[in-house]
Amino acid sequence: MSAIGHSRVTPLIPGSPRRWLPLLVLLLAVPLLMPIATDTVVAEDTEPPEWGNATRSDDTTIEVTLYDDESIATNTIQADDFTLTAGRVENVSVTSINAAKGNKSGARVSLALESKVDKNNVSVSLRNTANITDTAGNELPDEAVTATGMDAVVPKYRDFNVTRVNSSTAEITVETHERLDQLRVSIGGASLDTLNISAFTERTGNSAVYTREYTFPEEGEYSLLLMSVTDRHGNNNSFSRQQTFLYDGTGPNVTVTGPRNATVGEPVAFSAAETTDGQGVESIQWQVGDDTILSGENITVAFASPGSHEVAVTATDPFGNTETVTRVVSVTGNGTVGNVTVQQPNATVASVSVNGTGQSQVIQPQVGALTSGPNGTLERLTASFPSNESATLTIRSRQPPPSFATATGHTGISRFALDNGAVPTADVLVRFTVNRDTLAAVDAEPGAVTLFRNSNGWTPLPTEVADRTESHIVYRATSPSLSTFVVGVERVTAADADSETATTNETATSEAAANGISTSESETTETSTPEPETQTETAGEPDIVVTNATAAPSTLSPGDRTVITVDLENRGTASGDHNVIVALNTSILTTRTVTVPAGETRTTEFARSVPENRTGELTVDGQRVGNVTGDSGGLPIPALPSIGVPNPLSLWPDGIVGTVLGGLLGVAVGLYGVLKALAIYLGY
């Protein structure tokens, strides 16, 4: 019996056509999907990448942009691909940029340099071995782009020198490794000045040399400090290079010893050994007459003829300053014209025989004074007698007449009575001494002494202090002719009297006129060794040191303000100037010139703010007074070029290539899903 109304179900047999149906669908889908991917490629990329520009990012980084219609193959960019006209590329970092130039994409390449460069314009180009391409394989052409403003190297010090031209002028030289736009030299001393580049002459070669001549306005010691320099691109550097210059325009102080009278053929000695100069005596030269030149401190000469002969000595110091003194020597010969004979029967009387020459003749014995009294001594006389006329003089030391005080109002302390007969005389110079005890007895100062001449009454004569000894005061006075002379003293208080000072240049005028020589000659030749109390001004040198320097506060951060106190002591024997230098590391923050008298101490203060972004040791003349640190308590680390780890997604290419790869990846994922489902369905 068969069942009616039920259809027969046939089971699926493995290997039947239904099993391969999904595989057939997959095989049909692949050809259909291929046009989808291939349709996205519009055309083949044959255009090479192109250069953009180069710009300065910082002192050691140059940014270079590259462009392409599609995209740059950033993995082909290496540090060794680039060459620079100055410096070397240490490493690179690359960043992709979109729509950087119109519709073009590209890359920004950061070239990190090994160090700062000393050129303002740096050109970037490709090495011969470089191979930078776009994603289609087109190579970047060999061209060049230039970054400006790259010079970040400060001028380097080569030399700072001050060379003497003459006693008051020096040549100042500054040398650096490159040309400068500005320099500053500070001058301190007897006067202050600041020099800039405007007056310097530039000479370039392997280095840049700047020179100028500078004339110092007044005598003294100067300190020249090279403060700072700036190159043509604005990089500046500070220095603390110092030189000194001494402006000495004063000649030596010439002292001559030797006779004023000589005999024909007699050897006589002259010496300038006591000549002095603050910087030393370089040379001494003598001229005797018109044609005899001798050198050395001491000379010996013999005059061949009678008459007046000049002996001139010139001393030169190390700076070329000279001073000349001339001595006139009266030479006589064998009792003829010009002969002066002095006989002294006792200390109070002298008899003199003179053969006149018409010129000044000195009346003085070979040893000692002419005449001496209880309160005064006549040392010598100088006078002119008529030529070829003989004269006989009698000189006596006596007590002054009582009428002298009444007639003059002065106390007479000594009288020199002269009898020269009827022989006329002129240009008389009287040199005499007075005991200090005598002046003290009448309560008088040295300046109260006056020599009076008896000529129809007592006439005061110009009288000056010529020299001083421990027991005597030496005077000189001028008179129109020989006569009887009295030494008078006016009673004055110490406050009104002349102080006992060294003889001035003007004191030599009268005696010089009588001897026919210049004032400067007389000043030297008539002066003996001064007494100790007149030598109050002695040559010395300053010795200034910084004894203490502090900063409050001493621990600072950049931008903080501090007060620096500096104590200076002069341990020398003369006043001087010291240039105090406050510096941060090797950079000068400020300077100040402080004058310190001998044996004294001076204090000066500086109120300064530490520059921003600067750390290190704060010093005064090289002595540390504080520290400047950053917020972390240490020195800041200079910023390095940013070299980050790239985001993996950022490596996915942009543009049409990225679109194609994205489409293919999507197809592959879809196929993987179909195959996986089919495998599950079939039981794999």
Instruction: Report the alpha-carbon distance of residue 656 to residue 329 in Å, rounded.
Output: 118
Domain count for the chain, please give it.
6
Residues 665 and 555 in one domain: no
> Over the chain, what is the mean pLDDT?
80
The 3-state secondary structure of 264-330, one letter per residue:
CCCEEEEECCCCECCCCCCEEEEEECCCEEEECCEEEEECCCCEEEEEEEEEECCCCCEEEEEEEEE
Residues 460 and 356 in one domain: yes
Instruction: Report the alpha-carbon distance of residue 522 to residue 431 in Å, rounded.
Output: 13
Cβ-contact 642, 93 below 8 angstroms: yes
Q: List, for residues 382-396, the tens digit of each pLDDT value.
A: 888 888 788 889 999
653 or 246: which leads in pLDDT: 246
Q: Position of tokens 């005028």?
A: 509
Helix, strand counts (H, E) of the chain? 6, 43
The pair of three-digit structure tokens given for residue 445, joined into one six-digit string: 């100062």
The pair of three-digit structure tokens given for residue 544, joined into one six-digit string: 């200034």
Q: List, for residues 350-391, the tens digit of each pLDDT value.
A: 999 888 877 778 888 878 899 998 789 999 998 888 887 888
Strand, coil or helix: what is 22? Answer: helix
Q: What is the pLDDT of residue 389?
A: 81
Q: List, for residues 175-207, the tens digit of each pLDDT value.
A: 999 999 999 999 999 889 999 999 899 999 999
Q: What is the pLDDT of residue 324?
A: 93
Strands of the sheet with 576-584, listed across from one edge: 555-556, 623-628, 616-620, 576-584, 587-596
Residues 383 and 474 in one domain: yes
pLDDT-derived band at 26 (thresholds 50, 70, 90) equals low
pLDDT-derived band at 681 (thresholds 50, 70, 90) equals low
Q: What is the pLDDT of residue 657?
A: 52
In a domain, 191, yes or no: yes
* Residue finishing a domain among 534, 559, 577: 534
In a domain, 603, yes or no: yes
In a domain, 565, yes or no: yes
Residues 430 and 450 in one domain: yes
Residues 364 and 505 in one domain: yes
Q: List, for residues 82-101, the tens digit of each pLDDT value.
A: 999 999 999 999 988 876 67
Which residues 6+ apart lie within 8 Å of 234 measured at CB? 181
Closest by CA to 399, choosing from 435, 445, 453, 348, is 348
* Residue 553, preceding peptide bond in cis (omega within 30° of 0): yes
Q: List, for residues 496-540, the tens digit of each pLDDT value.
A: 444 443 333 343 334 433 343 333 333 333 333 343 333 333 457
Q: What is the pLDDT of residue 171?
A: 96
Q: What share of the chain is helix, strand, coil (3-state, %, to 5)?
A: 15, 45, 40
In a domain, 642, yes or no: no
Q: Position of tokens 């000043």?
A: 523
Residues 440 and 367 in one domain: yes
Cβ-contact 238, 215 below 8 angstroms: no
**Residue 222 structural domain:** 157-247
| Maximal C-alpha separation, the chain | 210
Strands (E), 82-121: 82-84, 89-101, 104-113
The pair of three-digit structure tokens given for residue 331, joined into one six-digit string: 């030479």
Q: What is the pLDDT of residue 564?
A: 92
The amino acid that residue 122 corresponds to is V
Q: Is the pLDDT of residue 636 over 50?
A: no
Least confident span in 20-24, 433-437, 590-594: 20-24
In a domain, 572, yes or no: yes
Residues 524 and 551 in one domain: no
pLDDT-derived band at 19 (thresholds 50, 70, 90) equals low
* Residue finishing a domain among 289, 307, 332: 332
In a domain, 93, yes or no: yes
Q: Which residues of 268-307 are buried (b: 16+ CB within 10 A; e: fewer)?
A: bebbbeebebeeebeebbbbbeeeeebeeeebebebeebe
Instruction: Report the alpha-carbon distance of residue 328 to residue 261 in Å, rounded.
Output: 9
Closest by CA to 627, choosing from 557, 578, 549, is 557
In a domain, 27, yes or no: yes
Q: Is the pLDDT of residue 432 over 70?
A: yes
* Residue finishing a domain among 112, 134, 152: 152
Residues 384 and 526 in one domain: yes
pLDDT-derived band at 222 (thresholds 50, 70, 90) equals very high
Report the CATH number at residue 177: 2.60.40.10
pLDDT-derived band at 33 (thresholds 50, 70, 90) equals low
Residues 483 and 558 in one domain: no
Residues 319 and 350 in one domain: no
Report the CATH number at residue 106: 2.60.40.1220
What pTM was estimated for this model as a whole?
0.39
434 or 683: which leads in pLDDT: 434
Closest by CA to 264, choosing from 319, 318, 303, is 303
Residues 390 and 510 in one domain: yes
Residues 475 and 530 in one domain: yes
Mean pLDDT of 464-472: 87
Report the CATH number at residue 384: 2.60.220
In a domain, 255, yes or no: no
Report long-range pairs for 155-159 (Cβ below 8 Å, ≥24 apart): 155/180, 155/229, 155/230, 155/231, 155/235, 155/236, 155/237, 156/237, 157/237, 157/239, 157/241, 158/207
Q: Is the pLDDT of residue 13 over 90?
A: no
